[in-house]
Structure 1
């Protein structure tokens, strides 16, 4: 496992920290669509994402969910950190969007490493900052953009994450991410197809 840690974090963390991560972390390889965190759960470990993509969503009181941001290679979840440090229950839903490889760090190490390793402390602060910027972008997107623009932004983000112009998904799944109805998404996708921006297939959306 140490080769994976060095590959992704060798230029970021001190050698001594790399050794500690290798010693205490649990390696996980999970398929697409795997629930990693549910609302109401206590967090026992913090994830470091080696590969793949994770969706972070916020549920409402009716059980619907809004996509907040994505985690990609090299990222960690600031909300997981907050729950770990405060020993509080999760208020988010995390699910793998693609197959992913993770390192799970025991929560007991977080505070210890923050005082022991400057690189870890900087990593934590940087993660908080990046996730906050992504949350603000999500809020701006919801507050200031109409659903047409939000859908186009969702498609742009998706093709960047999966590195493909073929998005295998359903209209219902898109609607869930955007917190709207399937009917609205179907209508807007058809409009985009008429404008030659995409082509709709039976099981995927092709971006032109």
Structure 2
């Protein structure tokens, strides 16, 4: 475990903190499509992402979802931190985008490390800042961008996160994450294909 920590977090944390994380953390490996956290759930441990990717979503009253942002290796979720420190219920849903490896850290260590390690304090503050910027970007996309622009950005983000130009999602799944209808997404995807930007297949597409 310490080797993986040094590989992904060694540039952030001092050796003493890495050793403490290794001593109290537990490795969790989950398949793609696994729900790690649901809205209304209490958080008992905070995840540090070792490998894979996680998508963070919100739900409306009807259960429809909206993609907020992705977490990649070396990240953690600031909204999870907030729930941990305040013993509050989760306001977001977290689902693995890829097969994912996490290091789960007990919540009681968070406050202790903030006072003990400057690197941990900076990591927490930077995580809050980065997630806030991504939330603002999500709001800007909804408020100011047309659906075709949002769809194109979504596809680019998927390619960046997964490292693959093949996106294995149905039109309905994309529509859920962008909080729109399947008909709209199908029409826009067909338009992108005609423009030579993507290539459509059954339950997947290639970004060209």
| TM-score range normalised by the length of the shorter chain | over 0.9
CA displacement at 1:203 relative to structure 2: 2.7
Q: 1:207 — aligned with what? A: 207
Q: 1:84 — aligned with what? A: 84
User: Per-residue displacement from partner, 1:132-191 (whole Å, max 9, x unpaired)?
Assistant: 000001111111100000000001101111111111110011001100001110011011
Q: 1:157 — aligned with what? A: 157
Q: 2:13 — aligned with what? A: 13
Question: Does residue 120 of structure 1 match 2:120?
Answer: yes
User: Per-residue displacement from partner, 1:40-59 (whole Å, max 9, x unpaired)?
Assistant: 10000000001111000001
Q: 2:75 — aligned with what? A: 75
Distance 1:82 1:125 in 2: 11
User: Per-residue displacement from partner, 1:60-116 (whole Å, max 9, x unpaired)?
Assistant: 111001101100010000000000000000011000000111001100000000000
Q: Residue 54 of structure 1: SS of its match in structure 2? A: strand
Q: 1:55 — aligned with what? A: 55
Q: 2:100 — aligned with what? A: 100
Q: Which runs of 4+ in 1 moved over 3 A?
A: none
Distance 2:180 2:35 in 1: 22
Question: Does residue 141 of structure 1 match 2:141?
Answer: yes
CA displacement at 1:204 relative to structure 2: 1.2
Distance 1:147 1:199 in 2: 19
Distance 1:174 1:4 in 2: 33
Conserved 8 A contact 2:171-2:203: no
Q: 2:173 — aligned with what? A: 173
RMSD over aligned Cα atoms: 0.7
Distance 2:3 2:206 in 1: 37
Q: Residue 73 of structure 2: SS of its match in structure 1? A: coil
Q: How many pairs align?
A: 208
Task: Please list every run of 5 or more consecutive structure 2 residues that lacks an aligned counterpart in the other structure.
Answer: none
Distance 2:68 2:167 in 1: 19
Q: 2:22 — aligned with what? A: 22
Distance 1:164 1:16 in 2: 36
Task: Please list every run of 5 or more consecutive structure 1 residues that lacks an aligned counterpart in the other structure.
Answer: none
Q: 2:193 — aligned with what? A: 193
Distance 2:202 2:35 in 1: 26
Distance 1:102 1:139 in 2: 28
CA displacement at 1:200 relative to structure 2: 0.6
Q: Report the TM-score, using the length of structure 1 for normalisation.
A: 0.99
